[in-house]
């Protein structure tokens, strides 16, 4: 797919935050938008703002945790080239205090919402021979801030997949003693405890092989409450500042 102008993107969770921002960015590229959310007021505001940019927008109340809602949304769209399964919720608090209803709600949106979106939309994109799917995830899959256990479970991933071998910069930050392994190679051992995990602590050029690359982040302090960020950047211009 080489052009966005005149194509249509479907975005869930478009009433606010990242979904709204993605929808506006697509509109700036000349794309039409099919907006979905449970928040109809917010959805109407996003739609208005998009229409002011001179592209077409539709808004549909869709609860992504319901297969029938997502199926009906997909079936209602004639043209479609980009799908963003973005709607999400962020439960917080100790795992043992989250009720069954909390789990069902969050699993319904964050996990089943993406499953329904992939199932409902991808066969259409495959059949038309082009299209893109963006499933919003979270760095919470790689870090372990206390009180976010229920949130993290949806995004836990421990492998990266590349179609071709790549040498890429990895930025790492940690607020505690930690190690990062890619397959059997230790690529990072954090030296300073109690740093701000939002800050980049260092960079490594890492060779990723073709196919699956297992990533293991190990917190060494034993209490398992260190924060950690691990960012792989595909932009060749990214890397440590040569002046430093």
Ligand X SMILES: NC(=O)c1ccc[n+]([C@@H]2O[C@H](COP(=O)([O-])OP(=O)(O)OC[C@H]3O[C@@H](n4cnc5c(N)ncnc54)[C@H](O)[C@@H]3O)[C@@H](O)[C@H]2O)c1
Give the catalytic positions in this structure: 151
87/180 with CB nearer ligand X: 87
Main-chain phi, psi angles of 188, to 5 degrees: -155, 135
**DSSP result, 97-123:** GS-HHHHHHHIIIIIIHHHHHHHHHHH
Token pair 């992504």: residue: 64
| Closer residue to ligand X in complex, CB, 42/131 | 42
Alpha helices (H) along 57-112: 67-76, 100-106
Instruction: Say whether residue 229 binds ligand X (CB under 6 A).
Output: no
| Among the listed residues 172, 180, 142, 177, the one whose alpha carbon sits nearest the alpha carbon of residue 158 | 142
Among 59, 136, 144, 174, binds ligand X (CB under 6 A): 136
DSSP summary character for residue 178: E
Stretch that binds ligand X, among 2-10, 31-39, 206-214, 227-235 (CB under 6 A): 31-39
Q: Return the number of the residue (65 or 213) whose C-beta is nearest ligand X.
A: 65
Say how many residues touch ligand X, by CB under 6 A: 23
Q: Which of 22, 35, 38, 168 binds ligand X (CB under 6 A)?
A: 38
- Report if residue 143 touches ligand X, rule: CB under 6 A: no
Span 72-91, contacts to ligand X by CB under 6 A: 86-90
Measured from the Cβ of residue 192, the count of other Cβ atoms closer than 10 Å reads 10
Q: Which residues bind ligand X (CB under 6 A)?
A: 12-13, 15-19, 37-39, 42, 62-65, 86-90, 109, 136, 138
């Amino acid at each position: 797919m080489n052009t966005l102008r005149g194509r249509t993107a479907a975005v869930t969770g478009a009433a606010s935050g990242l979904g709204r921002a993605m929808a506006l960015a697509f509109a700036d590229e000349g794309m039409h938008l099919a907006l979905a959310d449970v928040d109809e007021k917010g959805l109407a505001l996003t739609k208005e703002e998009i229409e002011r940019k001179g592209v077409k927008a539709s808004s549909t109340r869709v609860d992504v945790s319901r297969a029938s809602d997502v199926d009906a949304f997909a079936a209602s769209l004639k043209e479609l080239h980009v799908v963003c399964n973005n709607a999400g919720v962020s439960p917080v608090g100790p795992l043992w205090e989250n009720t069954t209803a909390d789990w069902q709600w969050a699993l319904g949106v964050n996990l089943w919402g993406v499953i329904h979106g992939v199932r409902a939309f991808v066969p259409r994109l495959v059949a038309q021979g082009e299209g893109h799917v963006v499933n919003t995830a979270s760095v919470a899959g790689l870090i372990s801030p206390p009180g976010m256990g229920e949130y993290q479970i949806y995004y836990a991933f421990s492998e990266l997949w590349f179609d071709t071998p790549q040498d890429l910069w990895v930025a790492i930050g940690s607020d505690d003693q930690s190690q990062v392994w890619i397959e059997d190679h230790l690529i990072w051992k954090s030296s300073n405890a109690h740093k701000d995990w939002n800050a980049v602590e260092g960079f490594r050029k890492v060779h990723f092989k073709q196919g699956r690359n297992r990533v293991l982040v190990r917190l060494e302090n034993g209490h398992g409450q260190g924060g950690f960020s691990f960012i792989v950047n595909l932009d060749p211009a990214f890397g440590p500042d040569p002046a430093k």
